[in-house]
Structure 1
Amino acid sequence: MYKVLIVDDEPWVAKGLKKLIDWESLGYTVIGDVHDGIEAMEAIQDMNPDVVLSDIRMPGLNGIELIESIRLHGLETKVILISGYAEFEYAQKAIQLGAFDYLLKQVDRNTLTETLLRLKIELANSHKGNREQDFHLEDLFELLEPDNNIKINNFMINRRLEFEFPHYRFISCLYPHSSAWDAIAEQAAQNGTQWFRLRTGQNKLSYLVNYDEQKKPIGLLDFISGSLAGAQYVGISGIGLYSTPIGKLYQESDIALSSSSFLQKQSITEYKSADHVAALTKLVLKIELAIKGYKRDVIRQGLDELCEECETRSMLIDQISALYNQIVLFVYKYYGNSELVQGLEYLTYSQIVRSCESVRQLFERISVIFERQSDEEMLLSKETVKKIIEYIDSSFTEDISLSMLSRQFNVSLGYLSALIKKETGTNYSDYVVAKRLNLAKELLSDESLSIQEIVERVGYKDYFHFNKLFKKHFGITPSKHRKI
């Protein structure tokens, strides 16, 4: 069923349109009606309808402005406008802006039915295109894996690209809204740079940029300031050559982008391979000795110092991840057989970005396990425990972190983590991932859904992260599973 949102400033007209035809027999379902353009745009972003049936004259945003806003947000929602004879010029402009069609008031039942049948064919073709794009995305997933040794020159030969400059960088960008661009775009060039664009997430684009760092470095700066002006965060890789593995450059740009969005100190971050972990050896040793001796105050003090160092040095997220995992290793080294380590896990940089709100909250995961639990927590009722698990089961597709749950149920992070491990047999993140992936596996049987739509439904935004998790969990990628 394709989802339809009806927009009209007169509620009785909207209700009349809902009753005018048998929507479900045509393959549509009306998911709601709203009564002004601003409310309509909010509903479109929240409910993601396939089709909007809208009056052309409304308060807030009129029909033309609504179409412009939909396109500005990169959404693929189809729009059918309803207009009077006096609004014919508006209707013509709407068609130019990409409206599917317009209908004259009063809307005729047969005309609406015929329009929806034509639109259904276009929507079906669009979904077919989305499925074809799934395979493009899967190719990218394999190509951009960090352990993939395909070099830039091999990539260019396979894509029949000709780049003339000696240096390469990957630049990954996070945008405020999702992108409707294709998975793979054509090569483009300007002012001493050439680039190739890839869509690497719902609201993420990555560019392989070719330029001359020595003769014309300004070309790269012009590209960033001009072509990437709408990006919220930007991550820039180190410099690569013709023989550099393309996966390595992409991961560097992704680490820089993740660092920028996680630390939120600067909107543009360049990848640099400085080894901060080695520079903090004394502090890390101090924390290890404190953990070995179970000196809680010293552990807390050492972790606070480590947080300050990470923030002061503007450390990249992969270095922060390395430090965190080194401390986790110490906990397992000295207390691996005790209940103390329940819920404590090693985290990749991408897991840190998704599960923590700050560096301090990350290291809090370690410090809290050395704090004594209150009698109230230790006597948490079975009914409360049941409520916590039920809440997770009903909300696993939402972006809910363990720290948010601990605040909501007024339980310390460490205790809640151990509690979930005891009740489910696994830690919180693995429990949520398993539920999301099992739901995704069920949704893959619905051929009308593209994999990108399934990714969003189960609670992810990044296709590549989802693809990696699915393959690790089931041993096969989502596209290949769909073919079985």
Structure 2
Amino acid sequence: MYKVLIVDDEPKQREGLKMFIEWENYGFSVVDTASNGEEALEKYRMYSPELVIADIRMPGMDGLQLIERLREEDPQLHILILSGYADFEYAKKAITNRTDGYLLKPVDEDELIQYLHRIKQMIDEAKKTSLWQNVSKEWTREAFIQSILSGSMEHDEFTLHEQADRLGLLWRKYQILLVVSPKDEKGATNEVNVLRRKLSARFEECGRGYVFSHQGYVGVLLQEPLLEVEHDDVYQELQGSGIAEFTVVLGERVKDLSDIPLSYTSALELIKLQFFFDRGRILSGELLSKLRSHTADREAEEKCTNNAEEQLYYAVEVGNLDAIKQLVVEFGHTLIRRHFSEGEIKQRYVELLTLIHGRELKQRPELQSQSKGYCDRVADIYRVRTIGDMFEQVESLLRSIASPLNEDTGRHREVRIMLDLIHRNFRDNLKLETLSGIFNYNSAYLGKLFKNETGEYFNTYLDKVRIENAKEYLEEGLKVYQVAEKVGYTNVDYFHTKFRKYVGTSPSAYRKKAGNE
């Protein structure tokens, strides 16, 4: 996986481009972003990316000055210019500085992908040439493994097996193990060395495999597949390395040298899916199979997804923290079953959090003072590493704006909360079935509880509250269809029927009597 650094002084542009495409599908990974030229130089030295995408116009050190500095440090670095200005003079300067291309904002997805394909091919070719130059003098096990994984092994099968036999790599079975540490931590080189030592002590010294580095990953070519009972032991050993966070993945088991790339590819696929798994375990093909094999009732799952906003909003409204936690997790699992990608899931949660916050602000203006902090934390959703971390972040955000109504612990508190909910949300499509889930009761029991306490059925009480508010709007001079919409009736004729039932006259006649016609 080749590393990409994005440089732009606009936060939305930086984060937007980072989430714009599934970079891993094209052989790249965004290791970090920078907001100016100086920060870009610092992060370039930290990560040594193969590709830098830089805005041409930035305060201080602009894109062209940054390119000149980068070229002094690495003449082979690949660079794409990003700009909102179709400026030919800037384009000529960029070409002079040997950039790989010039992208105009808004970025065209197909054009960016074409550049990535071309740049990856150039990097691959350069690495193959470099690799063969290095191994031509002394053929090492690691270089042999790297050449197989990179596809640069051009010998026939007999020669391939002959070389493997000479290096002690002609085995009955093979499996790739990869270890990935976060790309945004400092001291990456030191981490690689620590991981290599740990893996070498665990596998090389007892003849179970050989350690290698490839495309930024540290891995082991295993002679025999790693048994499931060993997973926890291996993971705990790596935990003792002092590295804060890492992911371990196992590729498929294969029987021939030529199939080793298949094991490596399946391991890479798991790395791309690590967001979906819990921390603290080795990810294997068996887990991937379970993730993919689930078949869902699409209609039921879609209904559950569409109801998520309403259910979570009311859970926040009534301050039911247990329901918030449960619904946050259920919504995520539903999206997984519907095969949403990591980016799509994060986007849905951001939209959900934004919508619920907006609705809460209308009901409770006092929340406005904490809106900026809330929105900043919502943006952090895009940076979480696992779905479990995301659940915790989303739950924490919703708890921070949850209503204090849950503090009511008296008799029939549920009914008092429901009454408050109706009076503040009568415009919504309130349903007893939705609220019953929030209170962990079945709808029949909750309806009975409500009627015993208020003397009215839930829907009857809701209608009466709506009609009382409708009378006020009509007295203010609003049109009948406007009033119907404002109090929660999407069908004007149905509103007429309800109004006449409870008031004894039509809405238009009531409006006229109030002196508005």
Which TM-score applies when normalising by structure 1?
0.31
Higher radius of gyration, 1 or 2: 2
Higher relative contact order (CA 8 A, sep 6+): 1
In terms of fraction of residues, the more helix-rich structure is 2
